[in-house]
Amino acid sequence: MSEIILYDTTLRDGAQREGISFSVGDKIQIVKLLDELGIDYIEGGWPGSNPKDLEFFNSVKNLNLQHARIAAFGSTRSAKARAESDANVNAMLDAGTPVVTVVGKSWDFHVFHALGTTLEENLAMIADTVSFLKGKGKEVIYDAEHFFDGFLENPEHALATVRKAAESGADCIVLCDTNGGTMPLKLQEIINEVRRNVATPLGIHAHNDSGMAVANSLIALQGGAVHIQGTINGYGERCGNADLCSIIPNMHFKLGIKKFKPEQLKRLTEISNTVAELANVIPQDNQPYVGRNAFAHKGGIHVDAVVKHSRTYEHANPEDVGNKRRILVSELAGKSNILFRIKENKMKLVNDYPQAREVLDALKKMEHQGYQFEGAEGSFELLIWKTMKAYKPLFKLEGFRVIVDRQRREQELYVEATIKLRVDDKIVHTAAEGIGPVNAMDNALRKALQEIYPELENIKLVDYKVRVLDGKDGTAAKVRVLITSQSGSKRWGTVGVSENIIEASWIALVDSIEYGLLCNQAAPLEEFKKALKETTWEEESVVKG
């Protein structure tokens, strides 16, 4: 098989997804990541369409790329014009890239209704544009837009367009499933017909409107295509483009095409998440290979098997793509889930020890009340410690009060929290103001504990979410509060549930502070380890700090 070329169009096609708008700085950062990953071509944008893309092409010239080649994108010349005087064609030249990608019409329906011209003129537009750009020393990739739809309605003209591009010197002809509606076997059949008519290397550009973009890309590859276009995370207009984060590992692990080095593949999850962050898009947890749930196991039977051998429920090794295995805890969990999580925390509980069942029973009872521990590992570990009777609370709540007051409409709300705590034999009673009730409680709790636990200063609340559990109860509905906290590079989640949002927030907040202190302060950990030694263990337990 000829060398397979991967062409990334995240910066153009991917940016056409609703809600995505990359800055020039974002684009430069993504180019560097794609170059490090080993992508062959990076499409930077359409230089004739907006000033931002022009700025990008000027900036990218200063990068010392190790592998990737930058491509400018544009369309064939206008009808009845000349390529050398066409503004769009000259904008591609002015971008100064070694590669230009030209899109042209393959579907007669588009020729008549979008371009408003004849089939003969469409062929002339393709030939004139490709030959002119080749004459300027450019590598020319020809994107045959709507090729598969065009072939099904008028195969003679569709084939004539790609033959004309080939005769005019195109280095690669990319067949585009622009509307994303072609089924894999039909796509394979059409590609075979094109190969009988054109000797130029073929590529595939698939959209995902019928959920077939990755499948169509891979079947095109197996059918002789040597050039695959796609985007990181499948970003793109409507339902998106073929996802390179699935195509790359499928090529490597399923088709045996060892294009990427192991150390490059191990960065795939990191790059997926970084691009999502730059795009300001929440990562898809269920995304193959790189998603947070791609190697997550919840059912007790599944977990029991995975612990014995990962191949029982995993088709690939998560570490090979920079991901990791996750064992979830929920009402569907079995003892294996609990034991795996205990092992993750470097605590090895005897398999048939009753406390494993006690933890599971407590977990299921709490989840029945509305708790969810999948994103609340801090609360889950505290649950284990408390159930194993190897836990001494750092402080005890004696009472709290939250006041929210506004006397006049034009005034801002005044919020104050008063808290009374018992730390050992000492009563601490304090109050603090805040922007809202949770912030006020957080400030008051910290004020009460700061002198006793100065390391509390390093624990920061970084996220706060509220979920209504049963909307039919209206404002009386039970709510789940999830708090995410961080200390240094360590991040953890905690959860609280109640019909009262203040109480739910307090439960999650206390867990967050207490878990952070236990993990970051030596004295409570030493007491905890001492208590653990008094329980039944297979080996000495160590708390993960």
Cβ atoms of 7 and 227 within 8 Å: the answer is yes
- Taking the C-alpha atoms of residue 178 and residue 540, their distance in angstroms, rounded to an integer, is 61
Give the residue ranges of DSSP H helices in 140-207.
147-153, 155-167, 184-197
**One domain for residues 303 and 451:** no
Tell me, yes or no, whether 313 and 238 share the same domain: no
Q: Say if residue 253 is in the same domain as residue 300.
A: no
- Residue recorded with tokens 């030249």: 93
Burial (CB count within 10 angstroms: exposed 0-12, middle 13-18, buried 19+), residue 62:
exposed
> Is 382 contained in some domain?
no
Pairing of strands 41-45, 296-297: unpaired
Query: pLDDT in tens for each of the 545 residues of the chain?
Result: 579 999 999 999 999 999 999 999 999 999 999 999 999 999 999 997 778 888 999 999 999 999 999 999 999 999 989 999 999 999 999 999 999 999 999 999 999 999 999 999 999 999 999 999 999 999 999 999 999 999 999 999 999 999 999 999 999 999 999 999 999 999 999 999 999 999 999 999 999 999 999 999 999 999 999 999 999 999 999 999 999 999 999 999 999 999 999 999 999 999 998 998 889 887 888 999 999 888 877 766 665 676 666 677 788 999 999 998 776 655 444 445 555 555 554 444 444 455 666 766 776 677 777 777 766 778 888 887 777 666 678 888 888 899 988 766 667 788 999 999 988 888 999 999 988 888 899 999 999 998 888 888 888 888 888 888 765 566 567 888 889 888 876 788 899 999 888 999 999 999 999 888 888 654 444 554 454 444 443 333 333 32
DSSP assignment of 432-487 equals: EE-SSHHHHHHHHHHHHHTTT-GGGGG-EEEEEEEEES-GGGGGG--EEEEEEEEE
Residue 266 lies in a domain: no
339 token code pair:
């034991």
In the chain the first and final C-alpha atoms are separated, in Å, by 51
Q: What Cα–Cα distance (Å) separates residue 375 from each residue in 130, 180, 491, 496?
A: 53, 35, 11, 12
Q: Are 449 and 504 within one domain?
A: yes
Burial 462-498 (b: 16+ CB within 10 A, else e): eebeeeeeeeeeeeeebbbbbbbbbbeeeebbbbbbb
Residues 148 and 213 in one domain: yes
Tell me the residue type at 124. A
Asked whether the whole model's pTM tops 0.85, one would answer no
363 and 434: one domain?
no
**Could you tell me if 414 and 304 lie in one domain?**
no
Question: In this structure, is residue 114 part of a structural domain?
Answer: yes
The domain that contains 486 carries what CATH number? 3.30.160.270
Q: Are residues 40 and 97 in the same domain?
A: yes
Classify residue 239 as left (phi > 0), alpha (psi -120 to 50) or beta.
alpha
DSSP 171: S
Alpha-carbon span 60 to 106, nearest angstrom: 32
Pick from 318, 350, 367: which residue ends a domain?
367
How far CA 465 is from CA of 16, 83, 375, 378, in Å, comes to: 29, 56, 11, 16
545 lies in a domain? Answer: no
Are 428 and 354 in a shared domain? Answer: no
Tokens 């699935």, located at residue: 246
Within a domain: 386? no
Three-state secondary structure call for residue 113: helix
**Tokens representing residue 482 in the block:** 């999830």
What's the CA gap between 220 and 205, in Å, rounded? 10
Is there a single domain that holds both residue 10 and residue 116? yes
Q: Which of 237, 260, 283 is the last residue in one of the domains?
A: 260
Please say whether the beta carbons of 87 and 131 come within 8 A.
no
Asked if 230 and 41 touch (Cβ cutoff 8 Å), the reply is: no
Same domain, 484 and 417: yes
d(CA 58, CA 362): 61
Place of tokens 């018992």: 422
Domain that holds residue 312: 296-367
Domain boundary among 367, 386, 408: 367
Q: Give the DSSP H/E element, type plus range, for residue 366.
A: helix 354-368
Tokens of 345: 């925390």
Give pLDDT, residue 463.
84
User: What count of Cα atoms within 13 Å lies in the side-chain half-sphere of residue 196?
Assistant: 6
The tally of domains found in the chain comes to 3
Using the structure block, give the residue that is written with the tokens 């470097």: 346
Residue 39 sits in a domain of what CATH number? Answer: 3.20.20.70
Distances (CA, A) of 458 to 180, 279, 444, 514, 523: 50, 30, 16, 13, 17
d(CA 54, CA 499): 55
Q: Around 515, how many Cα atoms within 13 Å sit in the side-chain half-sphere?
A: 31
Is residue 15 assigned to a domain? yes
Q: Tell me the C-alpha distance between 332 and 182, whole Å.
A: 39
Q: Are 422 and 500 in the same domain?
A: yes
Q: Report whether 415 contacts 539 (CB < 8 A).
A: no
Q: For residue 2, give both structure tokens.
A: 């000829």
Does residue 192 lie in a domain region?
yes
Q: CB atoms < 10 A from the CB of 407, how many?
A: 7
| Structural domain includes residue 336 | yes
Measured distance CA(534)–CA(540) in Å, rounded: 10
CB 122 within 8 A of CB 110: no
426 alpha-carbon distance from chain centroid: 47
What beta strand segments (E) does 99-234 contain?
Answer: 99-105, 139-145, 172-177, 202-206, 227-230
